[in-house]
Amino acid sequence: MNKRILLVEDEVNVVSFIKKGLTEEGFEVSVALDGNTGVDMALKNNYDLIILDIMLPDKNGITVCKEIREVKTLVPILFLTALNTSDNIAHGLNSGADDYLVKPFKFIELLARINALLRRVSSQVKGDEVTSNNIYTIANLVVNDDAKTVERSDQTITLTATEYRLLLTLIKNKGKVLSRVELLESAWDINFNMGTNVVDVYINYLRKKIDSKFDQKLIHTVVGMGYVIKES
């Protein structure tokens, strides 16, 4: 069955360009031309991936993403943005997106991003390379990679798909300092512009969800080297 993609974009030329290319690649593409319609379609239908422009009529992409994430936490969301600054990109990722692509872009790059996100989701759903005892713990944090759940002190912690992959990489290597490049290679299948500090952004997201409510901090920065999860 063809993968279903929802494209939320108001620029007709961009819609035509993306839909034509993805259809030729075997994807089934649905289109929403404004934010309200995008939210409605995303919540009423099951899509394998959502491509979401930030600048939209009625409701901007940041708001659309947040509303989708309140209901659907795992569907990959790829932002399209003309705002190529670290703050704007970080704001987009913070709303729940898994990746971003700056306009203008080449179709081959868009396709690579889409395939990378779909591979990640497929791996999670099918449980590739997962054993029945794939449960990781450190202090009072428990990550169950079979059930894809995270708990700390018996409190359920809800993570986005990207946040989960990053945490899983850290906890599988607990006590080991991982560089930003190593974390990028593990949590993402693509090369990012390191100037956007995407790893730092996501580490901050994890800290807010994993550490902020607890006295014992588990995620640590090793200046000039990277990050490590360990009992302090």
Give alpha helix (H) positions in the chain. 12-24, 35-44, 61-69, 86-94, 107-126, 161-172, 180-187, 198-210
Q: With H, G, I as helix, E, B as strand and everything else as coil, classify residue 78.
A: strand
Burial of 87 (0-12, 13-18, 19+ CB in 10 A): exposed
- Assigned CATH class of 4-126: alpha beta
Domain assignments of the chain as residue spans, ordered by start: 4-126, 135-229
Comparing CA positions, the residue from 51, 114, 86 lying closest to residue 193 is 86
Bigger pLDDT: 132 vs 232: 232
Q: What is the pTM of this model?
A: 0.62
CB of 150 within 8 A of CB of 171?
A: no
Instruction: Express each pLDDT in 96-121 by its tens digit.
Output: 888 888 888 999 999 999 998 888 77
- The predicted-structure confidence for 39-81, as pLDDT tens digits, reads as follows 999 999 999 999 999 999 999 999 999 999 988 878 899 999 8
Q: What is the pLDDT of residue 107?
A: 94
User: What CATH number belongs to 135-229?
Assistant: 1.10.10.10
Q: Is the pLDDT of residue 196 over 80?
A: no
Is pLDDT above 80 for 122? no
106/129 Cα distance (integer angstroms): 33
Of the candidates 183, 164, 169, the residue with the CA atom closest to the CA atom of residue 225? 183
